[in-house]
Copies of this chain bind each other. A is one copy, B any other.
Amino acid sequence: MKLATLKDSTRDGRLVVVSKDLTQCSEVGHIARTLQAALDDWAYVGPRLERVADGIETGAQPTIRFHEHDAASPLPRAYQWADGSAYLNHVELVRRARNAEMPESFRTDPLMYQGGSDSFLGPRDPIPLGDEAWGADMEGEIAVIVGDVPMGASVDEAREAIRLVLLVNDVSLRGLIPSELAKGFGFFQSKPSSAFSPVAVSPDELGSAWDGGRLSLPLKVDLNGKPFGRANAGVDMTFDFPQLIVHAAKTRPLVAGTIIGSGTVSNKLDGGPGRPVADGGAGYSCIAEIRTIETINLGVPKTPFLHFGDTVRIEMKDDKGHSIFGAIEQTVTKYEKAG
């Protein structure tokens, strides 16, 4: 089952079931008006949405044309966005950029930050940036949306709670991160609104690429139309999604509709920190990583952070080359406050 939220006059948009090939969709307001409403009552609503999805594939269900650019993020606003850092190659590289060692405990105790979830961008919305000096960067990630997770959940309970899988662009402001993290309370201004893929899919849509915890397919990250990252999301993911969920639920429950992110997808290569796509590597899912590689190899970073007008595209294709989630495609624009 593939689900999307069409933008409309409401804050939460309207839920649609999308065909596997992303060309058609059916309105399901008679079942659940919004994705959050569906998640709130998944035991009842989920099977009904599945029947619509089946009807779309057999032709029994009336459909309208689905356009990815009409979609909001599947949850335009969510009650929780908690982002892990499961790919330690990313953690090692961004820390090396600021001359910080990665503690050994990071291999057993997941890193996770509480993100802002009240105002997500749509998958084709511009990224509004106040100042290029803020050092805007994309972060290509995988995420899951969970049902209710009890406090102290087991790995099995966590795995069972995964309802949907989707992609994220976790926009980061690298120029603001060092001083903000130095204050000790984590990210706030340095993590502006994230954007999610047009479509969120149930795990069964992923076939053998999904093992219940990891999604083993390359994440395609393009910058200004050129391949930038092709890292496989199933490789070098030290903590899988159930482990990240268990971490998040250690001291409190997670409400249905909580989104848990993987952190920036990042692959090592022959034990090293990977290699750019242009040099035959899997590349990187954010600019910060390639800047670290450049600093190691050339002494200085060469690739700038995002400028106004730059376009980021994040997508994942199945083994037949079909887009699974639709594409996040965002252009950085100068933010001008209205009024």
Residues of A within 8 A of B (CB): 11, 40, 77-80, 82, 85, 103, 105-106, 109, 111-119, 128, 130, 134, 150-152, 173, 176, 181, 183-190, 192-193, 247-248, 250-255, 257-258, 335, 337-339
Contact = CB atoms under 8 A, between A and B. Distances in A.
A79 B117 contact: yes
Given A79-B118, A119-B252, 15 more contacts: A11-B255, A77-B255, A82-B188, A109-B183, A111-B184, A111-B185, A112-B185, A112-B188, A113-B185, A118-B255, A118-B258, A119-B255, A130-B152, A188-B248, A193-B252
SS class, residues of chain A in contact with chain B:
loop
- How many copies the complex holds: the figure is 2
A111 to B, nearest CB: 6
Contacts of A247: 188-189
Nearest to A336: B152
A254 B339 CA distance: 17
A251 B176 contact: yes
Given A113-B188, A128-B151, A184-B186, A134 B251 contact: yes
Given A117-B80, A151-B335, A192 B251 contact: yes
Name the residue among A115, A183, A257 with the largest chain B CB count within 10 angstroms. Answer: A183
B152 A251 contact: no
Nearest to A82: B188
A113 B115 CA distance: 10
A208 to B, nearest CB: 31
